[in-house]
Structure 1
């Protein structure tokens, strides 16, 4: 399966440290060698880098790992193909426009017999179940709200219902952002950490690299990092319950809803 990486912050922050560990999982420390991509929101714009080559050996990934792009919302993905060939058009994350804002989506999992009717407002370019799900999500949001852009809380309610529908078809871990907040669905596994004062050192699992966040942050900074598996080995990560949808904003986990039967645990 694929691996996901997301970052949500209260101030523009670079993801170089986390991406260095994540990059290694694309063909070096793990088997996810069918392409990679990353998207950075900057105000109303969005930079997207995609490469169907393994991230561990991709010159584009090496550029990104050394380029301190500062963003408040970032989504990255390394691919192990399940549906769709290994081609650029099938490489995550995917981007579309809705309500005058870019939306970014990346998926880890496999959706079986998921063939929703699409009305042409959002059409897949590639042939993955992931892009098809993204197009249907945005189509459903437009059908629900029309030209009215909902607030984040209302959006979360509707997105929760849509996620329940898609999750019936299989594994549906995803990250989704419109640049204002970041939504994360842990269908089977996702973890997160919130870094805030007092900051400390962090050491990557996949590379022998350490950073002292006390030297590169202020006491007001807050950064949430979401990953399929924890990226560091000396920090405490929170495992999201399987079957839960989350909303992150300003570097904090603000809301959680269950997407399968059972009690939901509130974010700390």
Structure 2
């Protein structure tokens, strides 16, 4: 199973503690990794079809001072599509003058939608094909960039269609919000004042967030499996869609 990591915050936040927890799971997921994070309207996007344990790109990311409101990261275990750079998540497209970043965990069987617009896959994964279809349908549903609530309603209508074809755990962001859909396995956590210490579940690494935050800071983390021990992670219900804005869950929709 691929591993997903998303972050949404109300102030530019360092995601490297959570990324370190994700990278610990790279031994079983050697088919590539990637991360996309927004800096205002801009996007920094790093991918490599080599495993995160050995990738020089991963080393670059670990030493980059990431401060972002929205982050999407992925460690791949290939099910469809060969191990290649063009098949490495997260995928990026432009719509309504904004970048969109998408990562998927799962396997869609027989989902071959007709793609007739500007959104076509470069690689040969079910994930990128589903992303292109999703962008196409959003473009058809709205003439211009809708509100976050309007986008959430449209996504709640669209996501069950590919989900009928298999496992469809995903993260999606346009820099304004983070949408997360859980088909089988996804968890989220919200950190806010009073902040405490957190310890990674897979590695002996602890961070005291009280020393790094302000009282008004809020951060939401989404991951396939809980990344830390002793924190109140919340499991998604099958078919549940959550949207995170300013570091907290604004809305939940169950399919």
TM-score bin, normalised by smaller chain? over 0.9
Q: Which residue of 2 aligns with 1:7?
A: 7
Paired residues of 2:92 and 2:99 also in contact (CA < 8 A): yes
Q: Report the secondary structure of 1:134's partner residue.
A: helix
Q: Which residue of 1 aligns with 2:213?
A: 217
Q: Which residue of 2 aligns with 1:136?
A: 133
The alignment of Structure 1 onto Structure 2 pairs a total of residues equal to 255
| TM-aligned CA deviation for residue 234 of structure 1 | 2.4
Runs of 5+ unmatched residues, structure 1? 260-268
Q: Which residue of 2 aligns with 1:241?
A: 237
Deviations 1:139-179 (A, max 9, x none): 00111113x21111111111111101111111000000000
| TM-aligned CA deviation for residue 57 of structure 1 | 1.9
Paired residues of 2:194 and 2:215 also in contact (CA < 8 A): yes
Deviations 1:181-236 (A, max 9, x none): 00000000111110110000000112211100011100010000000000011212
Give the 4+ runs in structure 1 shifted more than 6 A. none
| TM-aligned CA deviation for residue 66 of structure 1 | 2.8
Runs of 5+ unmatched residues, structure 2? none
Q: Which residue of 1 aligns with 2:247?
A: 251
Counterparts of 1:1-268 in structure 2 under 5 Å?
Answer: 1-27=1-27, 31-146=28-143, 148-259=144-255
C-alpha RMSD over aligned residues: 0.8
Q: Distance in 1 between matches of 2:99 and 2:91?
A: 10
| TM-aligned CA deviation for residue 62 of structure 1 | 2.2
| TM-aligned CA deviation for residue 256 of structure 1 | 0.9
Q: Distance in 2 between matches of 1:17 and 1:33?
A: 20
Q: Distance in 1 between matches of 2:39 and 2:146?
A: 21
| TM-aligned CA deviation for residue 26 of structure 1 | 1.0
Paired residues of 2:26 and 2:53 also in contact (CA < 8 A): yes
Q: Distance in 2 between matches of 1:45 and 1:90?
A: 22
